[in-house]
Amino acid sequence: MTVPNLVGAGLIVIGAGIGLGKIGGSAMEGIARQPEATGKIQTAMIIIAALLEGLAFGALFLGK
C-alpha cells in the first residue's frame, strides 16, 4: 500500500465514520422519543448502515 492509498483509506474511514455516527445518533434519538418504535428504527438503521458500509468497502477496495 502506498501513502496516497493509505490517505485515501483514511478519508473513506472518516467519511464512513461520520455517516455511521449520524445514523446511529439519529436512531438513538428516535428510539428515545418513541421507544415503542425501536424495532422498526433498528431495522431501518441497520439497512442504511449496511448500505453505507457497502459504499465505504467498495471505495476501500477500489483503492486497494
Partner 1 sequence: MKFSHRSHLVFTTFFAVLFSATLWASDEEKHEGAVNKPEHVAAYIQHHIKDAHDFHLYSYTDTHGERKHVGFPLPVIVWSSKGLATFMSSKFHHDDDGKVIVEAGGTRFVKLHSKIYELEAGADTVAFDETHHATNAHKVLDFSITKSVFGILLVGLLMFFWFSRLARQYKSRKVPKGFGRVLEPLVLYVRDEIAKPNIGEKRYREFTGYLLTVFFFIWILNLLGLTPLGFNVTGQLAVTAALAIFTLIIYTFKGNKGYWGHMLWMPGVPVLIRPVLAIIEVAGAFLIKPFSLLVRLFANISAGHIVVMSLIAIMVTMKAEIGAVGATALSFILSFFITLIEVLVAFLQAYIFTMLSALFIGMAVEEHDHH
Partner 2 sequence: MEQLLNDFSPGLFVMQTVLLLGLIFLLVKFAWKPILNSLEDREKGIQDALDAAESAKKEMQNITADSENLLKEARAERETMLKEARELKEQMLADAREEAQKEGDKIIEKAKATIDSEKKAAVADIKSQVANLSLEIAEKVLKEELSDKSKQLKLVEDMLGNVKLN
Residue 61 binding partner 2, by CB under 8 A: yes
Taking phi first (over 0 means left), then psi (-120 to 50 degrees means alpha), and beta for anything else, what does residue 2 get? beta
Coil, helix or strand at residue 55: helix
Residue 50 Cβ, how far from partner 1 at the closest point, in Å? 5
For partner 1, the closer of residues 24 and 58 by Cβ is 58
For partner 1, the closer of residues 31 and 55 by Cβ is 55
Nearest in space to 18 (alpha carbons), one of 60, 56, 63, 57: 56
The site for partner 1 (CB under 8 A) is made up of 43, 46-47, 50-51, 53-55, 57-58, 60-61
